[in-house]
Amino acid sequence: MRIPIRMIGIATTFFWIFLIAFFVSAVYSVKDVHFDFGEPQMDVTSDNKVVFSLPVSIANTGFYNIGSFNISTEISDKEGFTITRGSTFVPVIKKNDVVTITHNMTIDLNDLLQQDKNYLFNDTELKIYEAVGMKIADVIPVQASTNFSMPWSAPLYNFTLGEPIYAPYNLTHFRVTIPISFENHPFFDLVGDMRIRMYNSTGARVGRGKTSLEAYGNSPYNREYRVLCFDDWNDSDWAV
Amino acid sequence: MADTSNNFKKKIRNFTFKALKATVKGILFYAIYFVLWMFLAPISDMVPGFQQMIETFVMVYILLMIVGELVSGTIFQCFFNVAKALFVIGYLIFSLNDGIFGLTFQNVSLMVDLRLFLVIAMLLSLLGLAKSVLQAINYMNEKAEYTRI
């Protein structure tokens, strides 16, 4: 019986040495994994989507491969409603290898502004949850996560319609001039058409106008718009 | 009278040998810990209490190992071996918090899943426990045989 007991002892010792050596070397090799986060880029596509791109470079000079490398980002509003999420996955980063990836996040401005008009007119804060996960030596899962806030800049901040000025246009119509002002807080320009419709107290449309809009990013915008109205329009009783 | 003197000398020699063996084992174990600690040292800056946790483990383990070695050849050696195996299992469970190790550093939460490591370590500890139980059975068996003869 002594020999089997001794064999169990030898086998146990061998496995302990192997386990501890592997664990210590795996933990030690984390020291030799370097992350380099590049300058984040923001672009607006032609279909009104804001694309955030974050270049990430991972240099693995440790003893083991890194498996299931994953970067995920979730952007939500103050109430916790998820606006968008993005994820970038690299199956394996081999040892002595450098991998460069671009982590992309897309926010559809059309969807966002239709969901909540508040984003158009008021500056607010967006919550960002960022998580980086990987498997050290393809075996030990590690995840680091953080939360932070990012300011949201409203494109139509402090949107104001001024006092309308009306003047006869012809025998049947008036011309109404409406001053419009707002501040375009985000970095991107607002380019498009602005349509104005005027209604009387019974809800009937009495006039309309359309003009092109070009508001530069981070700048105030002040213009006057002209709207043609029918002659039965009453200046004390209108809505835009 | 000469037999008693020889017996006493033999006991002293045995005990000295056991003490020497225990000392060598203790020093060897501490040297291994010292070498491994050089690799783990960067973690102790990030994880508060990590060094204390490892040091306590090493201290108790070496103590049990030395005492177990001093009482080798008796049934108490098996008791100390069982205590050693149970201590490893208990300490791993409590210190590794069921295998999910989490800490917060400034605004960053770090989570390390050591469940696989914990399971393997537990299995090896159970193997050590089984070995100690077998040793105890073997010891009692041999003693019974000598008594019968």
Could you tell me the mean pLDDT of each successive run of 10 residues in chain A, 240 residues long? 86 90 86 84 80 88 90 86 88 90 85 76 86 90 89 86 82 82 84 81 80 85 78 53
Q: Select from A160, A158, A149, A153 the least CA-distant residue to A75.
A: A149
What is the DSSP-derived secondary structure letter of residue A155?
T
Cβ–Cβ of A16/B124 closer than 8 Å?
A: yes
Q: Which residues of A touch B (CB under 8 A)?
A: 1-2, 4-5, 8-9, 11-12, 15-16, 19-20, 23-25, 27-28, 31, 139-148
Contacts of B107 in chain A (CB under 8 A): 146-148
Q: Give A108 to chain B, closest Cα distance, Å.
A: 29
Q: What is the pLDDT of residue A234?
A: 52
Q: Where are the domains of chain A?
A: 1-31, 33-152, 157-230
Contacts of A16 in chain B (CB under 8 A): 124
Q: Residue B33's closest chain A neighbor by CA?
A: A20
Q: Select from B71, B32, B68, B141 the least CA-distant residue to A9.
A: B68
Q: Which residues of B38-65 are buried (b: 16+ CB within 10 A; e: fewer)?
A: ebbeeeeeebeebeebbeebbeebbebb
Cα–Cα distance measured from residue B46 to residue A40, given in angstroms and rounded to the nearest whole number = 28
Q: Which of B124, B128, B141 sits opposite A19 (nearest CB)?
A: B124
Q: What are phi and psi of A15, to 5 degrees?
A: -65, -35
pLDDT at B115 over 60: yes
Q: What is the pLDDT of residue A238?
A: 53
Helix (H) or strand (E) holding B49: none
Cβ–Cβ of B116/A140 closer than 8 Å?
A: yes
Q: Label residue B148 by pLDDT band (50, 70, 90).
A: low
List all residues 6 or more positions away from A192 whose beta carbon is below 8 Å from its beta carbon.
A212, A213
Q: Give A122 to chain B, closest Cα distance, Å.
A: 28
Distances in Å between the Cα of B43 and the Cα atoms of A27, A163, B40, B50, B118 are: 8, 67, 6, 8, 18
Q: What is the pLDDT of residue A143?
A: 92
Residue of B34, B35, B36 to mutate, interface with A, max A Cβ within 10 Å: B36
Q: What is the pLDDT of residue A201?
A: 80
List all residues 6 or more positions away from B56 whose beta carbon is below 8 Å from its beta carbon.
none
Q: Select from A195, A192, A186, A203 the least CA-distant residue to A239.
A: A203
Task: Give, in degrees to the nearest 5, the angle at Cα A104 between A98 and A106.
Answer: 180
Q: Select from B21, B25, B47, B44 the least CA-distant residue to B101.
A: B47
Q: Select from A230, A192, A181, A186 the least CA-distant residue to A214.
A: A192
For residues B69 and A56, is the Cβ–Cβ distance under 8 A? no
A224's tokens: 């006057």
For residues A127 and A149, is the Cβ–Cβ distance under 8 A? yes
For residues B43 and A24, is the Cβ–Cβ distance under 8 A? no
For residues A38 and A55, is the Cβ–Cβ distance under 8 A? yes
**CATH classification of A33-152 is 2.40.160.40, yes or no?**
no
User: Taking the C-alpha atoms of A199, A201, A202 and A203 in order, what is their torsion angle to the nearest 10 degrees?
Assistant: 30
The distance from CA B58 to its chain's CA centroid, rounded to whole angstroms, is: 8
For residues A175 and A166, is the Cβ–Cβ distance under 8 A? yes
Cβ–Cβ of B108/A24 closer than 8 Å?
A: no
Q: What is the pLDDT of residue B123?
A: 92
Q: What is the pLDDT of residue A72?
A: 92
Distances in Å between the Cα of B135 and the Cα atoms of A2, B15, B69, B75 are: 8, 21, 14, 9
Cα–Cα distance measured from residue A111 to residue A83, given in angstroms and rounded to the nearest whole number = 9
Q: What is the pLDDT of residue A162?
A: 85
Cβ pairs bridging A and B (under 8 Å) = 67
Q: Give A112 to chain B, closest Cα distance, Å.
A: 28
pLDDT at B140 over 80: yes
Residue B130, SS3 per DSSP: helix
Task: Give, in degrees to the nearest 5, the angle at Cα A121 between A115 and A126.
Answer: 65
